[in-house]
Amino acid sequence: MSFRQLVIGAMVVATSVTVRAELARHDGPGNLRSMNMGGRFLSVSTEIRMPSQGWSTSATSARWSVSNASFSESGGEQRWSGQARQGNSTWFSFQQTGRQVEDHLELSIQVTSATNASLEGIFFFISVAVSDFAGGTGAIQNGPGQVTIVRLPPNNTPGSPHLVARLGDGVVLKDADDNIQLEIGADRTMFATIQDNREWNSPFYATFFQIHGGSLPAGQTASASFTFRLTGVPDTAPALLEIEKTASDFVFDGWGGNFVFNTNAPETQFMLQNLRVAWARTQASLRTWEPSNDNSDPHQTDWSRFAGIGLRQEFEFARQIEMLGIPRIASTWWLPQWLHPEDGTVLPRAKWDELAECATSYLLYGKEHYGVEPDFYSFNEPDIGVYLKQTPEEHRDLIKLFGERFAAAGLRTKLLLGDVASPNADTAFAQPATSDDEALSRVTAVSVHSWAGDDYADWIAGMQDWSRLAAHIGRPFLVTEVGADASAWNFGWMFRQFGYAMEDLRNYLNVLRHGRPRSALQWELTSDYGLAYSAGGQVVPTKRFWMVKQLSNVTPAASSYLETRTDCTDLIPVGFARHTANALTTTLHIGNFGPGRQLTVTGLPTALNRLFVFRTSETENLEQIGVVLVRGGSAVVDLAPQSLTTLVGRCGDRRPRVRR
């Protein structure tokens, strides 16, 4: 059957929507991250740099190095400010102001030195992806008729990164097909450079303007204004999504959540009331539990020396989770300071018995006084030390020690293997434990966190490796912290922005598609990294809440993952099948990170005759937008740009139930 026949063979009842699109997206400190080209966001990133003489060190507006950041918005204008440091003694404050004006973005920057700064100058960098512009052209212009044009090389030429440098008041970048064009205008003539950053193993072409030359005395300010205009026609061709088979060995219990910080905030109860929470992770606050050593014998516990009363709220919340029937992980971040005075370091083995006593007594107290007992225990991110650093061999031996002590105390709590900071962590970290029978007997699940960088290629490979490791040793795979940006807590305003919601959605769907975990646990379901916020005595959901609710509440519990394939790189699909005695429910989540397009779905159950369509977009919040008819296992649906669409169909006795 041809693609055209598939398209004609299904009737679409769902209607398309027109979404007011963002022109640009910024990160926490205000740096540009991407620009909208007809619904497709191209990587266009900016950064202010203040390098020392010789470029040996540099202060930067990059989000990982900014402190004291703030954000405000008024009258269509967005304003970001922060501080950046060069070395130990040179500080700068900066401000970025952005305004979307019809078809272009206006961005103004200013930098003020807090100290006498010995500099090469102050530079404004704009980077675009080689994959978008390779083989195209770059031009520096200086008024009418003064233009220098260079080719943007498809292949890197080592040792020759600078393609052109001259005075100019604007830069124009074009792709090889003369479709995509980025115009950058400056408010005055200044020295500009176009370079190939692959010289430094970065897959970008960069343009930079020198907005100030030389040193900047204390109290002086350098400033400049720029305009950005991106034009081009995105690919909106119809796409195909094929359901290939059921991956029956991989089951999804459902979306979960972390309840670690700010658990007493009203947002926490809002989440428990409105989301189907399949798994939970809470904190075991050992630093508070044993503020000073109970005695010198790690095998004799002096119960009078522990701070159980100080953790009443923590234990009561754990009880609420367990009374809801939710499997619970207890994780430790900070160790008692008398035991482990320097966060991020290893603990000498001579102190391990004291640590085991501390954790075991904490769990026993919760069991005996509150009737709570976690299913799993872990130390948070031991591979990087947040905050107990472990070598792979120490990780194995701590699992064995804690497993032995927990069992001897009559606790059913088992250990997580891994709980590492990112899928980019090498599975070699877990190898000593997986090669040790005693350690494996204490482990009942493998876990990673999903924090990502700007490039998902290595991340995806790592996620698949950790998932395969769990399958190899016959343990469930859990992603115990789900989120895109581990530094976002510095920029709380981002949590309410649609662009950040789409970045988180990309992370969510990649977790499910490439990891196929038993559960993925949102960081967090409290006011920290909040999916909602409190205002005027009300809890107000953000766009991220509706996306998570669509994933959690529309997907039936204990569904099997479906193998799916698509021919469109803008789409990330994840499919599930739930079999019961009388019915089969098929659920397809489709993240569209590009423009609107038509999608044909094939491989659906032949007994299925319709799909209910739910969507979250910039203007919709888990709305049922229509019904799609299924003919011969195929259906066609219109996807809105920058959206999450879910198709739900049921072969059996009744319409699928969705908790909304």
Confidence of residue 414 (pLDDT cuts 50, 70, 90): very high
Mean pLDDT of the 564-579 span: 97
Other CB atoms within 10 Å distance of the CB of residue 563: 14
Strands 162-174 and 137-141: antiparallel
Which amino acid belongs to residue 381?
A: E
* Residue at a domain's end among 201, 231, 261: 231
Question: Is residue 94 included in any domain, yes or no?
Answer: yes
Q: Which residues make Cβ contacts (< 8 Å) with residue 435, sequence separation at least 6?
A: none
- The answer to whether residue 147 is domain-embedded is yes
Same domain as 221, residue 85: yes
Residues 531/270, Cβ–Cβ less than 8 Å: no
Query: Rounded to whole angstroms, how far apart are CA atoms 557 and 217?
Result: 62
Residue 271 reports pLDDT greater than 70: yes
pLDDT score of 144: 85
- The reply to whether 305 falls in a domain is no
Answer yes or no: is pLDDT of 656 > 80. no
Model pTM greater than 0.85?
A: yes
Backbone angle region of 558, left / alpha / beta, with phi > 0 → left and psi within -120 to 50 → alpha:
left
Cα gap 48→634, rounded to integer Å: 50
Lowest mean pLDDT among 157-161, 240-244, 301-305, 475-479: 157-161
Is 121 among the domain residues?
A: yes
**Which range among 44-58, 203-217, 449-463, 467-481 shows the weakest confidence by mean pLDDT?**
449-463
pLDDT at 21: 62
Q: pLDDT at position 653, please? A: 58
Dist CA 178 CA 167 (whole Å): 25
Quick check: is 162 in a domain? yes
CA distance 441 to 434: 10
Instruction: Specify whether the CB–CB gap between 356 and 300 falls below 8 A.
Output: no
Q: Rounded mean pLDDT of 449-472? A: 93
Q: 53 and 9 in one domain?
A: no
Cis amide leading into 524 (omega within 30): yes
Same domain, 53 and 97: yes
121 within 8 A of 212, measured Cβ to Cβ: yes
Residue 119 has pLDDT above 90, yes or no: yes
Query: Model confidence over 196-249: pLDDT tens digits?
Result: 999 999 999 999 999 999 999 999 999 999 999 999 999 999 999 999 887 668
Read out DSSP for 296-337?
S-TTS--GGGS-TGGGHHHHHHHHHHHHTT--EEEEE-PPPT
In this prediction, residues 386-414 reach a mean pLDDT of 98
| Residue 61 DSSP one-character state | -
**pLDDT mean across residues, the chain:** 94
pLDDT band for position 657 (50/70/90)? low
Residues 9 and 118 in one domain: no
Q: Which of 209, 231, 253 is the last residue of a domain?
A: 231
Contacts from 401-410 at CB under 8 Å and sequence distance 24+? 401/352, 401/353, 401/356, 402/356, 402/359, 402/360, 402/377, 402/442, 403/439, 403/441, 403/442, 403/443, 404/442, 405/356, 405/357, 405/359, 405/360, 406/360, 406/363, 406/377, 409/360, 409/363, 409/364
CB burial string 458-488: b at 16+ within 10 A, e below: ebbebbebbbebbeeeebbbbbbbbbbbbeb
Residue 153 included in any domain: yes
Residues 76 and 12 in one domain: no
Cα separation, 554 vs 227, whole angstroms: 43
Confidence bin at 90 (pLDDT 50/70/90): confident
The verdict on 78 and 140 lying in the same domain is yes
Stated as kind and residue range, the H or E segment containing 470 is helix 456-473
The whole-number pLDDT of residue 660 equals: 60
Task: Assess whether 106 and 217 both reside in one domain.
Answer: yes
Complete DSSP assignment for 570-581: TEEEEEEEEE-S
**Is the pLDDT assigned to residue 643 strictly greater than 80?**
yes
Whether 202 and 94 share a structural domain: yes
Q: How many helices (H) and strands (E) does the chain have?
A: 12, 34
Instruction: Decide if 525 contacts 259 (C-beta within 8 A).
Output: yes
Last residue of a domain, one of 231, 256, 290: 231
Q: What is the average per-residue pLDDT within 128-141? A: 98
Above 70 in pLDDT, residue 137? Answer: yes
Q: Which residues have a Cβ under 8 Å from the Cβ of 592 and sit 6 or more positions away?
A: 570, 571, 639, 640, 641, 642, 643, 644, 645
Domain count, the chain: 2
300-309, 375-384, 620-629: which range is least confident on average? 300-309
What sign does the dihedral 54-59-61-63 (CA atoms) show? Answer: positive
C-alpha to C-alpha distance for 365 and 562, rounded to whole angstroms? 43
Return the CATH number at 148.
2.70.98.10
Burial class (CB in 10 A: 0-12, 13-18, 19+), 433: buried
CATH classification of the domain holding 8? 2.60.40.1180
224: Cβ–Cβ under 8 A, 6 or more apart, which residues?
A: 108, 109, 124, 186, 187, 188, 190, 209, 211
Q: Each residue of 160-196: pLDDT tens digit?
A: 899 999 999 999 999 999 999 999 999 999 999 999 9
Lowest mean pLDDT among 85-94, 326-335, 510-519: 85-94
CB 655 within 8 A of CB 611: no
- Are 142 and 9 within one domain? no
d(CA 166, CA 497): 38
What is the residue type of 80?
Answer: W
pLDDT at 655: 60
Asked if 61 and 48 touch (Cβ cutoff 8 Å), the reply is yes
Say yes or no: 44 and 183 in one domain.
yes
pLDDT of residue 328: 98
For residue 182, tell me if it sits in a domain: yes
- In this structure, the answer to whether residues 11 and 96 fall within a common structural domain is no
- The answer to whether residue 436 sits within a structural domain is no
* Reduced 3-state DSSP string for 100-114: EECCEEEEEEEEEEC
Please name the residue ranges forming H helices in 102-207: 130-133
Do 225 and 101 share a structural domain?
Answer: yes
| pLDDT surpasses 90 at 31 | yes
Query: Is-contact 161 119, C-beta < 8 A?
Result: no
Q: What is the mean pLDDT of residues 562-572?
A: 97
Residue of 611, 613, 610 lying closest to 626 (CA atoms): 613
The DSSP bridge partners found for residue 185 are 170, 227
Region of residue 135 (phi > 0: left; psi between -120 and 50: alpha; otherwise: beta)? left
Query: Quick one: pLDDT at residue 455?
Result: 76
Instruction: State the pLDDT confidence band at 15, using cuts at 50, 70 and 90.
Output: very low
State the pLDDT at residue 29.
97
Residue 245 is predicted with a pLDDT of 80
Among the residue ranges 308-312, 321-325, 343-347, 484-488, the one predicted with the least confidence is 308-312
Q: Is the pLDDT confidence value at 654 over 70?
A: no
Residue span of the structural domain in which 165 resides: 40-231
pLDDT in tens, 327-374: 999 999 999 999 999 999 999 999 999 999 999 999 999 999 999 999
What is the percent of the chain where pLDDT is above 70?
Answer: 95
Identity of the amino acid at 568 = C
